[in-house]
Structure 1
Amino acid sequence: MSLSELISGVECREQTLTVVNADAGVADELREYFVDRNVRIVEEQSSSTPAAYVVLGEDGRFLTAASVAELLDDDPQRPEFAEGSYQPILDAVDETTFTSFDTGRMVAASREIEDRAWRAGRGQLHAGFQTVSSFETQRDVYERLGARDRLGVHAYATPDGTETTCDELRLHLESTTELERSWFVVYDGGGTRENACALVAEEREPRQFYGFWTYSSETVETIVDHLNRTYAFAETDGGGWASEVNDERTALSVEDGRKRTRMSATGQEGRRQRGPRG
């Protein structure tokens, strides 16, 4: 399943947030809060139920409920991947599409996932930059991430004539429409399912991105499996290049990948240049 197909699948799953017995203006506030998510807000009044609560459902199926006070307790301007415990509603809306994110919001969401991987210091982090020139603007950040002993870092991009070298991570260079259009950051959780998270989006208009984020370890595993199957992947235990690599095949594969990165990063001359990521 391609990244575009994953996005389309999430787009089809619209959720409904029913606002029951709430004060005037609450529904509008929630519409603004969820404006970039695939969530429909409806209002209801009932004399037999408590005041001011919300119910989240999908395809007629009950997901969760919470009071309006619980839902609106946090700052509505907080980043989508902020730390801390999440209210039940926000937990349930963990895999919904967003629309028309510009590069600033994409960078903010990406940074949250990168920070989670940095603090955990283990597992695998996969990031798509669209082009090598975009990757170059973030290379220092990703080399620092790749220097963590037990964190394996993989960057994906299409060649655009820009030269690059990478010693601390594996750069996958493929001239595919998927990589050219896709911006993604995927962290597998480093063995802790609760830490798994991903941001996956495609550029449908110039520098406007459509996609989804998720904290579902199953969805994250699906994305990582797709990347591993589709793009050349050095065998590794997921612990980073310098971490206790005892398998000779793995060591050779990693070194081969580094050589390939140096040789092929300048390939495909004449491909159109793209603006830097962020």
Structure 2
Amino acid sequence: MTAEADGPLRDLCERARGPDKTVTTFGPDPYADLEPVLEQFDVTLAHEYLPLPESEGYLTVSVDGRSVGSISAAAFGELRDPDSGLPWDAATRESAYRDLVELLAGTAFVMDDKGHLLATAREIEDRAFRHGRGHLYAAFQSLSAFRAQVPVYERLVGRTDLRATVFGAPDWEPPEVDRLTVRLDDADDVTDFWVVAFDGAGDDDAKCAMIAEEVEPGEYTGVVTYDPVIVDDLTAYLDEVG
């Protein structure tokens, strides 16, 4: 079943969009092999020539001409091939791709690369793990898609004071895990989407979410947000349908 055109999750995805952003690379030549990564995001791309070695270049993300952050060329490899490893791994947590996701929060993306999408979702799960308490939500298109993530969520709730709720179409029965609730989405209220959301245990600075809709087989459009109002409305909706 396809989500309604004016469905709550799609509305939240639209509301989560922030101001337009520009990504500018600086160096001797445009970093052409980086463009496929950056073009996944709805940003303006630019390049400015600087007479320095390619390895010493960098990129900036700006809003209305004001820089909000930068990433060095030494880390560009992590943008092209992000580590989608476990949320608590230091290498995953400190990756440049996580930095890019945070800098481009509120910017719509279109991704057909499952690795990039999983790395994006890991940013939300890692924030929840580090916070150590609160409620983590995850919606998959089917519970069988959650199968590979069961060990991850067992550790997320087993090593912290987190609670987790997982949604999915009932095509597989997950094992019982303490502090992990499984909701069967028979009505397809949420499972046209891949959602990962963390309520921050009431801390506005810790609230975060990814909302992504599969618009074509294997292609997702969505957004990452750290807006506490959006996250509150999202988790309230998930509580309602759950």
TM more than 0.5: yes
1:38 partner SS: coil
Query: TM-score, normalization: structure 1?
Result: 0.62
What's the counterpart of residue 41 of structure 1?
45
Q: 1:71 to 1:149 in 2, by over 3 A?
A: closer
Cα distance in structure 1, aligned partners of 2:234 and 2:27: 41
Query: Which residue in the other structure is 2:75 paired with?
Result: 75
Partner residue, 1:134 = 145
Could you tell me which residue of structure 2 aligns to residue 64 of structure 1?
66
| Correspondence for 2:20 among 15, 21, 24 | 15
CA distance in 2, matches of 1:31, 1:146: 37
Residues 179/10 of structure 1: CA separation in 2 closer, same or farther (3 Å cut): same
TM-score (norm 2): 0.70
Q: Which residue among 158, 166, 184 is the counterpart of 2:176? A: 166
Residues 221-253 of structure 1: CA distance to partner in whole angstroms, max 9, x if unpaired? 221122122x13xxxxxxxxxxxxxxxxxxxxx
Q: CA RMSD in A?
A: 3.7
Gaps of 5+ in 2: 1-6, 50-57, 84-91
Query: Which residue pairs with 1:211 in the alignment?
Result: 222
Shift of 1:157: 0.8
Q: Secondary structure at the match of 2:200?
A: coil
Letter in 1 for 2:177: D
Q: Distance in 1 between matches of 2:140 and 2:59?
A: 41
Match of 1:252 in 2: none
Question: Percent of pairs identical after alignment?
Answer: 28
Return the letter of the residue paired with 2:40.
Answer: D
What residue in structure 2 maps to residue 5 of structure 1? Answer: 11
8 Å CA contact retained: 1:53, 1:66: no
- Against the structure 1 CA distance between its residues 74 and 170, is the aligned structure 2 distance closer, same or farther, given a 3 Å change threshold? farther
1:142 corresponds to which letter in structure 2? Y
Q: How far 1:123 moved relative to its partner? A: 0.8
Decide whether aligned partners of structure 1 residues 217 and 64 sit closer, same or farther in structure 2, where only a CA change above 3 A counts. Answer: farther
Counterpart secondary structure, 1:179: coil
Match of 1:176? 187
SS at match of 1:177: coil
Residue 96 of structure 1 aligns with which residue?
107
